Chains A and B, each alone.
Chain A
Amino acid sequence: MALLGNALFWAALAAVLFGQRRRVAFWPLLALALLLLFDQLCLPGFFGLEIRGGHLYGTRIDILNEGAKVMLLTLGMTLVIATGGVDLSVGAIMAIAGAVAAQASVAAHLPAGAAIALALGVSLLAGAWNGLLVAVLRIPPIVATLILMVAGRGVAQLITGGQIINFNDPALVYLGTGWFLGLPFTLTLVLAAFGLTALLTRRTALGLFIEAIGDSETASRYTGLPAHTVTFFVYVFSGFCSGLAGLVAAADIRSADANHAGLYLELDAILAAVVGGTSLTGGRFHLAGALVGALLMQTLTTTLYACNVSADVAPVPKALVILAACVLQSPTLRARWARRTRPAR
């Protein structure tokens, strides 16, 4: 039974890989497959999967569940990077969103729906602040989002009064720990957010405009593109995604921890987007690739834990992956490759 399940899993993965062989998502997918192959061969128990009380349990499910936060962040980050910017404040916004939801539930006794709406509203505002600085005041994105990166955790602590706020509103907790159709609810959330993002960018002209701005801001301006509006929007959207991720992170541990929620996750999100094929200089973006990139990061982390690498040391291999991915993606190396593969006209 387990054998059959595994065979099916690998067949499906192989099929996806083959289907994507000419797409940008191929390379991160291949890396993911190789990593999973290593897990299958070297780590007994990694591929275990069982059904308990109608829920699926297993390391692969944990990866999906744990990776949800980064996947959510990555959706917003990918759009920001595609315009040629970057958002360093996503971790801080996560902390704020968690703090707002917890306080709304615990201190103000608001129902879960209102708490969630309030948290997302505040995240949108935070994103709008970033958008204002970048699109209207024309402050470089790294600098602009740095301000919230510095102050955001202070704001979150202000909201929680410096305490770790525990909450137990079942509907709020469900966001991070609930089950839906036998799978963690976070997965549904990620798929919904992915669907929303894809719809928003590919069913409207937003995606085209984002890519145009990232590809050549000058040419976009000469074509009359609403560059300010689009740039403003991507930061607001990134704020929204961060808010969702913050809610999940808080619900997962049933508490809002202003100091540690989302710490360093901005890095994982940037890396996932880059590994997923979105260039740091802007232009084409790949949402599915970004999700694969996020999964790759989480699988790497989980594999490291499974190999008894402590959570504290895990950043070392992660950093090496970051640097390798960046170097491979660097304009210098790309130019060298382009020269070799495409002879001069």
Chain B
Amino acid sequence: MTGAVLEASGITKRFPGVTALEGVAFAARAGEVHALMGENGAGKSTLIKVLTGVHPRDGGEVRVGGRPIRPRSPREAEAAGIATVYQEVNLIPDLSVAENICLGRQPGRAGFIAWGGVRRRARAALARLGLELDVDRILSACSIAVQQLVAVARALDVSARVLILDEPTSSLDEREVKELFAVIRKLRSEGMAVVFVTHFLDQVYGISDRITVLRNGRLVGEFPAAELPRLQLVSHMLGRPVGEIAAAARAPAPPPRAAQAPVLEVTGFGRRGTLHPVDLRVGAGEVLGLAGLLGSGRTELAELLFGVARADSGQMRVDGRAAEARSPAASLRRRFGFTPEDRKTQAILPNLTVRENVIVALQVRRGIWRRIPRSEQDRLTARFVQALGIKLSGPEQAIRNLSGGNQQKVILARWLATEPRLLILDEPTRGIDVGAQADLERLLAKLRAEGLALVFISSEIAELVRNSQRVVVLRDRSKVAELAGEQVSEEAVMQAIAEKP
């Protein structure tokens, strides 16, 4: 591939126990916007971190303008011409806009900073993006969008040839995205090579010239954006070829028509800046699937349902009676359960034992004073270790030392011990091995048969379709489709995800 400013080939990166990238090739060309796409665990962020020197690579080659580089820090990558703007603005919130642009390379005289020069240089850097800002403003007083643009200005203050934007739009509203895109177009027209990481399909098609898709640490392919239909892109990302969908992956039979009110029903339920209002209901003995790409609002919806974040619009009814999702504690009293997406930081209590991790939710429901007797704790733990096939050296082992799949089973056991009526499972099968995945699916079917109401979130469409009787599809933080019974199929779900608004 010639004409590429940035050229990476055969990139391999291993972490203890996982190969995050395997022989990945990537190229960014001058005057082009190149989108990097992939679901969770695809290796996008690892690739970015290798390119920008945050992680050292274990194999492969990176060239900028034909010259091989091996950056060991973001600073070295910058010196080589690779500038990066991250999702979370990596600037100093308490310093001024001007200072953030020049920090660490302030112009000076005799060891003293020349503040006039700092301001001039900042204004010039912003002008290059077509922006006019008060450079004396404290950064934290600016909107996230402006902070993002300041980060771009800082990145370009050195002579950058490649600009990497790592999910810059995930916390911006539409107008702010437009503003950012205008800047990107301007840079593209000046010959900058722009690498753009995002989850939003509309944005990808709105600005990219070229799309590279990664999946499970491997390169799926590089495509000109104009020649890649949306459905095709989604199928590349999810790894399910269109038209080759297994007939076996069929939704289970619909639940018996229940006379009683659904366990949980919400109408117009949402939160400003997080999720547009949605309606959904889930009844006893039913699995409701939530489909959507990363960033579609599926996790946000789950957190609102469980009360981790408070909804600011809409009503919730539990068993037909008006209720409020006030806090996880209130949801727990209602016999709801929730296994969050980020197991490591949101679910496990890493240094506590498996036993303690199992009983903690039940204990919270019983309150501080009614401690679960040790014998009952041991019984409960033993029962779930056996029922879920959790592999461990003993119940007093710290959960931190278990494999991901076994940790996930312990978290499930935590909620099952509370004998829940509704369980919200956010990506329960992510990062766990195939055997454990099959175990979990069997468990899901069994729980449903026992009359549990389940909300099931997964990026694996096949898995979602196999296990759900109804599927709600989310895109760009709103509900776009609801499929039931015969309508539930991989193709239909993918169509709904990929559809143009």
Report if A224-B356 is in contact (Cβ < 8 Å); known contacts: A216-B349, A219-B349, A344-B17: no
B329 touches A224 (CB 8 A): yes
A211 touches B369 (CB 8 A): no
Q: Does B140 contact A (CB under 8 A)?
A: no
B368 touches A209 (CB 8 A): yes
Choose from A212, A218, A222 the contact partner of B338 (Cβ within 8 Å): A222
Interface positions of A from 206 to 247, Cβ below 8 Å from B: 206, 208-209, 211-212, 215-216, 218-226, 229-230
Chain A residues within 8 Å of B352, by CB: 208, 211-212, 215, 283-284
* Complex Cα spacing A218 to B308, Å: 10
Report if A204-B371 is in contact (Cβ < 8 Å); known contacts: A216-B350, A224-B361, A226-B364: yes
Chain A residues within 8 Å of B371, by CB: 203-205
A222 touches B347 (CB 8 A): yes
Chain A residues within 8 Å of B461, by CB: none
Residue of B nearest to A220 (CB): B349
Report if A204-B350 is in contact (Cβ < 8 Å); known contacts: A223-B361, A223-B414, A225-B360: no
- Total contacts A-B at CB 8 Å: 84
Chain B residues within 8 Å of A212, by CB: 349, 352, 356, 360
Q: Does A336 contact B (CB under 8 A)?
A: no
A219 touches B17 (CB 8 A): no
Q: Does A345 contact B (CB under 8 A)?
A: yes
Interface positions of B from 313 to 333, Cβ below 8 Å from A: 327-332
Query: When each residue 80-118 of chain A gets 1 if its CB lies under 8 Å from chain B and 0 otherwise, what string results?
Result: 000000000000000000000000000000000000000
B328 touches A208 (CB 8 A): no
- Band of interface residues on B: 20 to 34
Report if A221-B308 is in contact (Cβ < 8 Å); known contacts: A209-B368, A212-B352, A216-B348: yes
A224 touches B328 (CB 8 A): yes
B342 CB to closest chain A CB, in angstroms? Answer: 9
Chain B residues within 8 Å of A221, by CB: 308, 328
A205 touches B349 (CB 8 A): no
Choose from B346, B363, B365 the contact partner of A219 (Cβ within 8 Å): B346
B428 CB to closest chain A CB, in angstroms? Answer: 14
Q: Does B260 contact A (CB under 8 A)?
A: no
* Complex Cα spacing A212 to B360, Å: 9
Q: Which are the 5 A-B pairs with shortest beta-carbon distances?
A: A224-B328, A344-B16, A224-B329, A224-B332, A215-B349
Known: A211-B352, A216-B350, A283-B351. 11 other contacts (CB 8 A): A204-B368, A208-B360, A215-B349, A219-B348, A222-B340, A223-B328, A224-B327, A224-B328, A226-B329, A226-B368, A345-B403
A-B contact pairs, 6 of them (CB 8 A): A205-B369, A205-B371, A212-B360, A218-B345, A226-B368, A344-B16
Residues of chain B having any CB pair with chain A under 8 Å: 16-17, 308, 327-332, 338, 340, 345-352, 356, 360-361, 363-372, 403, 414
